[in-house]
Amino acid sequence: MTQFDIIVIGAGPAGSAAATWAAKQGRSVALIDKATFPRSKLCGGLFTERSRAYYHEIFGQEVDLSHAVTRDEMAFWHDGRELAVLKDIPPLHLTMRLDLDAAMFTHALDAGVEDFTGQAIAELTETAVKLRDGSVLKSAVIIGADGVNSIVAKQLFGKSFDTKTIGFGLEIETPLSAQDPATQPLRIDFAAATWGYGWSFPKQGSTTVGVGGLRAPNPDMKDQMQRYIRTLGLPPEVGKVKGHHLPFGDFRPTPGRAHILLAGDAAGLVDPITGEGIAFAMKSGQLAAQAACDAIKSNAPHTALGLYNYSLKDIHRNLRIARTLRRIIFAPRWQKSLIGSFSRSGTVRTMYMRLLAGEVEYPELARNVLSQIPRYLLNGFRRTP
């Protein structure tokens, strides 16, 4: 049996951030992942300036974007019609998760974290993790950063997520594109999925094409994906379609129990409007690690959850507001008037981009949207037969 201060399960953005932050404070950390790195993760790989700032703060260095494509333009489409092309927006980086996650994992090892990747978990208890090779790891605090299908969340709450509120995304990675990849725009298509959207993100040597949204109102997401592939002018057999759940606003108000904390997708911390998850995964990993270190320092590991939950309050507030706004933004009833106002109003478009870049947060966006609601409602009622 090996004793650590903290065990982190999952070495994605949340887990590597948590492990690095705790190790930098002198804590002994075990980082477990069933995969070996580099490993791929189904994801658009859109890395915002918010993510870039968190990355720098947590890992102490600039993210390596030499394998990424960076754009300061984004095209918005709706139902096969171009709504607007936004120019000079804050830079958006299209990364491959294979490289990005491997870099974060390497930072964790460099910080002194002990590597238990490529190891499946045989048994999980409140204080110990037994690996398939028979070794047993014990710790004062456990951080579950094992993604949307989290076994730590399942152990605590009986299930990893709620099937009624979870999101889902489908993606292909294709070397083909209807346009030259060098000039191909970064593109978002509203209405490619119900309560969600479609995306086409140029990468170096490929394009990531996907649709995603709430799972329950999209029982035919595969068909929507095929329609979207056709809309983009790509052949039907353009690439292998893969799917993954996405906790699209489905966050846990209490992310853990006593000395067991959940971070990233395991805690449901994905933006319910933009689908951005990498930024909050890293940030929540850092906050979970800080809470764990503080609780251990005061000899009271069981207080970790209280400390962690308190530090998450701004993120939770943002996600709550975003979930409310989503009812207006994605509701089929209001979509037409919102899309109209998106194509007409520079303010609405700029606000959306600043939100994505992390320059404004949801409370400010909410104030803006709320001031426009009477007009949306009026337009909506005018259209109601």
Ligand X SMILES: Cc1cc2nc3c(=O)[nH]c(=O)nc-3n(C[C@H](O)[C@H](O)[C@H](O)COP(=O)(O)OP(=O)(O)OC[C@H]3O[C@@H](n4cnc5c(N)ncnc54)[C@H](O)[C@@H]3O)c2cc1C
Number of residues lying near ligand X (CB under 6 A): 37
Over the window 105 to 144, marking each residue x when it contacts ligand X by CB under 6 A and - when it does not, the resulting string is ----------------x-----------------------
Distance in Å, CB of 201 to ligand X, minimum: 7
Which one, 275 or 380, has the nearer CB to ligand X? 275
Q: Is 239 in the site for ligand X (CB under 6 A)?
A: no
Continuous H helices in the chain: 13-24, 49-59, 97-110, 151-157, 221-231, 278-297, 304-311, 313-329, 332-344, 346-357, 362-383
> Interface with ligand X by CB under 6 A: which range of 42-50, 68-76, 80-88, 157-165?
42-50
Under the binding rule (CB under 6 A), the answer on residue 275 touching ligand X is yes
- The interface mask with ligand X, positions 154-173, x = CB under 6 A, is ---------------x-x--
Terminal Cα-to-Cα distance of the chain (whole angstroms): 70
Residue 74 binds ligand X (CB under 6 A): no
Of residues 15 and 301, the one with the C-beta less far from ligand X: 15
Query: Which residue in the set 28, 41, 155, 241 belongs to the binding site for ligand X (CB under 6 A)?
Result: 41
The dihedral built from the CA positions of residue 33, 38, 39 and 44, taken in this order, carries a sign that is: positive
**DSSP characters over 113-151:** -EEEET--EEEE-SSEEEETTS-EEEEEEEEE---TT-H
Is 255:262 a contact under the CB 8 Å cutoff? yes
How far, in Å, CA of 127 to CA of 78, rounded? 50
Q: Does residue 277 bind ligand X (CB under 6 A)?
A: yes
CB of 184 to ligand X, least distance (A): 16
Helix, strand or coil for residue 59?
helix
Q: Which part of the chain contacts ligand X (CB under 6 A), choosing from 40-48, 156-164, 324-332, 357-365?
A: 40-48
- Asked if 42 interacts with ligand X (CB under 6 A), we say yes
Site membership for ligand X, residue 44 (CB under 6 A): yes
Burial of 59 (0-12, 13-18, 19+ CB in 10 A): buried
328 counts as binding ligand X under rule CB under 6 A:
no
Torsion of CA 365, 368, 374, 380, to 10 degrees: -50
Region near ligand X per CB under 6 A, out of 53-61, 125-133, 262-270, 317-325: 262-270
Which region among 217-225, 275-283, 299-307, 318-326 touches ligand X (by CB under 6 A)?
Answer: 275-283
196 binds ligand X (CB under 6 A): no
Cross-strand pairs, 4: 139
**Rounded to the nearest whole angstrom, what is the least distance from the CB of residue 35 to ligand X in the complex?**
4
Residue with tokens 């309050």: 313
Cα(151)–Cα(144) distance, rounded to whole angstroms? 8
- Cα torsion angle, 261, 318, 198, 207, sign: negative
Q: Give the residue with the Cβ less far from ligand X, 33 or 189.
A: 33
State the residues that interact with ligand X by CB under 6 A.
9-15, 32-35, 41-46, 121, 145-147, 151, 169, 171, 210, 212, 244, 246, 264-266, 270, 275-278, 281
